[in-house]
């Protein structure tokens, strides 16, 4: 490898590491519980949905608590990153103005830190598996990286679009939160995709998060991955990331003017 390219890659790696560490320190500054907060939110949601749908409505889904957290944890990664994306560049305006580096690294580190929180939550899923007399599967060794990669590029692409566009249309922050909330109810997180009426089943393919959540749940609960859904997830990942990068490149030269 060319020494100049090697030094450049090392610089980018160190930059991502420093930015990620900075974001993690800011998030947990003066926080006593620290790591517990990264799993408390999805677990609280799981408790609410368990009471609402298993106790009250009596939904017929086996091991419903395990079913819920297997979908809520990957969803939380998506929601945290996307909802934070409108303010990522604005919140780092001082760094952007003073230091010369690719601005998309700031957005990248936000997605990476939320991905780390998701990975740190997997032991909680393992704990619930044991509570339901189940064990992790060897297929996790390849299944988790495969699904992680697809979800990473979907989230990163969306964050590039939202973070770049919000600098010019500040109402996008509220619209993003509203859209994420609505998308949650159209994604099979707290319900089984088989419950969708047959005539509406095809709409499942229009939601890239649906394909991912179903596969995450299948992987955690049965050690399997739906190949068709996986192909769809990677197709969405490539398309969304490409659009996100194009939007970023189109608008990035104006960032300094509006920050």
Give the chain's residues under pLDDT 50.
32
What's the confidence (pLDDT) of residue 64?
A: 85
| Residue 108 φ then ψ, to 5° | -60, -45
Model confidence over 211-256: pLDDT tens digits?
A: 999 999 999 999 999 999 999 999 999 999 999 999 998 987 777 6
- Go through the chain and tell me how many residues it has: 259
Q: Which residue, chain included where needed, has tokens 């991502």?
A: 16
What's the confidence (pLDDT) of residue 195?
A: 83
Instruction: Tell me what the pLDDT averaged over the chain comes to.
Output: 84
Handedness of CA 92, 153, 151, 193 (dihedral sign): positive
Neighbouring residues of 24: CB distance < 8 A, sequence distance ≥ 6: 113, 116
> What is the enclosing helix (H) or strand (E) of 102?
none
């Amino acid at each position: 490898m060319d020494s100049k390219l090697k030094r450049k890659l090392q610089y980018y790696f160190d930059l991502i590491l420093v930015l990620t560490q900075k974001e993690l320190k800011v998030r947990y500054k003066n926080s006593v519980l620290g790591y517990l907060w990264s799993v408390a939110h999805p677990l609280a949601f799981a408790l609410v949905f368990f009471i609402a749908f298993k106790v009250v409505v009596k939904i017929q889904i086996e091991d419903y608590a395990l079913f819920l957290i297997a979908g809520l944890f990957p969803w939380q990664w998506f929601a945290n990153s996307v909802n934070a994306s409108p303010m990522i560049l604005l919140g780092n305006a001082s760094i952007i103005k003073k230091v010369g580096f690719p601005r998309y690294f700031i957005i990248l580190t936000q997605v990476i830190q939320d991905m780390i929180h998701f990975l740190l939550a997997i032991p909680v899923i393992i704990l619930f598996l044991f509570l339901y007399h189940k064990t992790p599967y060897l297929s996790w060794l390849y299944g988790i990286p495969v699904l992680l990669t697809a979800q990473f590029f979907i989230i990163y692409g969306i964050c590039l679009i939202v973070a770049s566009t919000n600098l010019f249309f500040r109402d996008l922050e509220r619209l993003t939160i509203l859209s994420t909330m609505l998308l949650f109810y159209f994604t099979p997180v707290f319900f089984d995709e088989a419950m969708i009426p047959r005539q509406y089943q095809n709409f499942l393919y229009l939601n890239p998060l649906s394909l991912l959540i179903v596969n995450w749940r299948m992987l955690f609960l049965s050690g399997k991955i739906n190949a068709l859904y996986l192909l769809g997830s990677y197709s969405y990942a490539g398309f969304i990331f490409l659009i996100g990068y194009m939007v970023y490149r189109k608008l990035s030269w104006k960032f300094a003017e509006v920050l």
